[in-house]
Amino acid sequence: MIRGLKTVKILLDEQQLNEGVEKLAHSINQSYGSRPLTIIGIMTGSVILLADLVRKLDMPMRVGVLQTTSYHGTQRGPLTIDADMMLDVTQRDVLLIDDIFDTGHTLTAVVEKVRQLGPKSIQSAVLLRKTGQQQVAGQPDFIAFDIPDEFVVGYGLDYNDEYRNLSYIACLEPEDLAVSDQGS
């Protein structure tokens, strides 16, 4: 039982996640071959996926991060992108890594920002895509799982910066949100 969660509805367990990341890595390895890659993890949600995925990829790579923020609890706020710490991407093959493609606004904005820096190519990979939520035209190039429209936590995904450390993906039930909102 996880602190603060009344029920734990597991959507993807550790083994399913491992198999999904394995398949994701296989597709990326097939697509890039031995071309050197610049991998940029979108923090903080992609932190676990980034660590697991890069160890399953075969090409020479540089690994960097940028930071986005948009959620406060389950409510969307203004999107900010902080790329100050990012690697140089000019004339590089860039692969962006994110935890979840929900409305798609975050990834679309990050792709646009990175594109302005003159990469040779830019693609994206996500762990999860929420069914039916997209409000943008583009899609990620690599997707491990399609999931129902539920608020999920674990394996990097948070609710108010908690639960990122869960080794599985769980749905937050309305009663869990109420408990978490009380800070317990």
Query: How many residues are there in the chain?
Result: 184
Residues 44-63 that bind Mg ion (CB under 5 A): 45
What span, in angstroms and rounded, lies between the C-alpha atoms of 124 and 78? 22
The DSSP output letter for 158 is -
The whole-angstrom separation of Cα 73 and Cα 162 is 10
Measured over all CA atoms, what is the biggest interatomic distance in the chain, rounded to whole angstroms?
50
70 binds ligand IMP (CB under 6 A): yes
> Is residue 124 involved in binding ligand IMP (CB under 6 A)?
no
User: From Mg ion, ligand IMP, none, which one binds at residue 151 (CB under 5 to 8 Å depending on kind)?
Assistant: ligand IMP
User: Is 93 a binder of ligand IMP (CB under 6 A)?
Assistant: no
In whole angstroms, the minimum distance from the beta carbon of 41 to ligand IMP comes to: 11
Q: With binding defined as CB under 6 A, does residue 99 bind ligand IMP?
A: yes
Q: Determine how many CB atoms are found less than 10 A away from the CB of residue 66.
A: 19
Residues binding ligand IMP (CB under 6 A): 45, 70-71, 98-106, 151-153, 157-158
Residues binding Mg ion (CB under 5 A): 45
